[in-house]
Amino acid sequence: MTKDRMVWIDGLRLIAGVSMVGLHASSDINGQPFPDFSTWERTGPVMFRSIMYLARTELFIIISLFLLFMSLDARPRGYGSVIIEQSKRLLRPFLFWVVFYAFYRLLKAHFFGYEDAIWAQLSNPLSWLGYIFLGDVQYHMHFLPTLFGLILFYPVCRIAIEKPWIGALVFLCLFVKHEVDIWLWAHSNIIPATDYLVRFVKILTYLGYGFVAAAGLGIYKHIGTKGGLYPYLNMILFTGVFLYMLKLVYSFRVIQFGNWQYNYAPGFWADFLMPVILFFLFMSSQQINRFSWLSRLAPYSFGIYLVHPIFLDIAEIALWKTDLSPIAFVLLKATWAVSMASITVAAISNTSWLGWTIGLGAFPNISQISRFARSKSAETVTGVNDEL
């Protein structure tokens, strides 16, 4: 199987999925960098986060669009067909997990005393609008509506396949995102539907990652398949090291002040460019193909990303009253969540009725449901007859 697969892209998928678990485990239960602890006690979690945050959800976006462009290159099809295909692949699981997390949150809310606020959201139609269009039902669900929004604009990005230099537009796109976001949030008190405007700007500016994905395919088609990117490995690696140095400065500021340093602009650039570096770093590596086991595990990455908050919530409830240091709290959460999410995804993937919820199975059709109902009815009748 792995001879026909790009192990480097499978490795990226797996790293992106697991790193998101570590990222979300790296803060306290309020999503903060442990401000009630000393600077020394904050150091471990913040440094752990700096490593986990190398592979952001933006890496998932680059990977997804790269694979879409590769698929279209191998099997051309019309815009409408692509959108219908992608809506089935992305929006069906998304809607399932929106409903699930909308009510699952009540478990943690009940334990920490904000259950009434969640019930108020559930009874508010505007909240459900945000759940569906913004994915704000849970902190990780924003990825799917954002990715689908980008896919709507995929033809714009494909020009970079033949002209890879267009991938450099990612710098302009990120600059616009940074500046417009600052302006929108500064005027959020007078601008209606700010959250929706910010998301629209995010989708438009994230087309920069679409240009990167398309440029990556163009480069891969021309020289990547022949190992032609290998001479650039050291240059890409050193660029990543320099960006990580900026992330370290950002991390030390967080450790010092005990809050996220959103105003530190170099940290923004280091964070949002690192997925691009990781993408080309793995593409240029000649050693990654030795790890064929990555291709066996990579299909589970999407599911791990989707289900991991279930187990992070359980861990926070179980560990809340324990006298653990911040780094022990973080490592226990991350280890537990990765392990249990992996087991859960493996179990779901073997369930014909739920595999589609994590992208590992076909969506059941009406005829399958009818046959299943009839078989269950027959089993019930047989069981009753046996008892009689």
**Domains of the chain by residue range:** 2-354, 355-388
Rounded to two decimals, the pTM is: 0.90
Contacts of residue 4, Cβ cutoff 8 Å, sequence gap at least 6: none
Q: How far apart are CA 330 and CA 25, in angstroms?
A: 6
Task: Kindly list the distances between the CA atom of residue 192 and the CA atoms of 178, 185, 198, 307, in Å, as whole numbers in the listed order.
Answer: 20, 11, 11, 33
Q: How far apart are CA 250 and CA 266, in angstroms?
A: 8
Neighbours of 194 (CB within 10 A): 14
Instruction: Going residue by residue through the chain, which has 388 residues, state the pLDDT in tens, using 9 for 90 and above.
Output: 445 578 899 999 999 999 999 999 999 988 999 999 999 999 999 999 999 999 889 999 999 999 999 999 999 999 999 999 999 999 999 999 999 999 999 999 999 999 999 999 999 999 999 999 999 999 999 999 999 999 999 999 999 999 999 999 999 999 999 999 999 999 999 999 999 999 999 999 999 999 999 999 999 888 765 556 778 889 999 999 999 999 999 999 999 999 999 999 999 999 999 999 999 999 988 678 788 888 888 999 999 999 999 999 999 999 988 889 999 999 999 999 999 999 999 999 988 889 999 988 788 875 555 554 455 454 544 444 444 3
Q: Cβ distance 222 to 233 under 8 Å?
A: no
Q: How far apart are CA 141 and CA 130, in angstroms?
A: 11
Nearest CA to 335 among 18, 109, 37, 65?
18
Pull the structure tokens for residue 261.
Answer: 């340093």
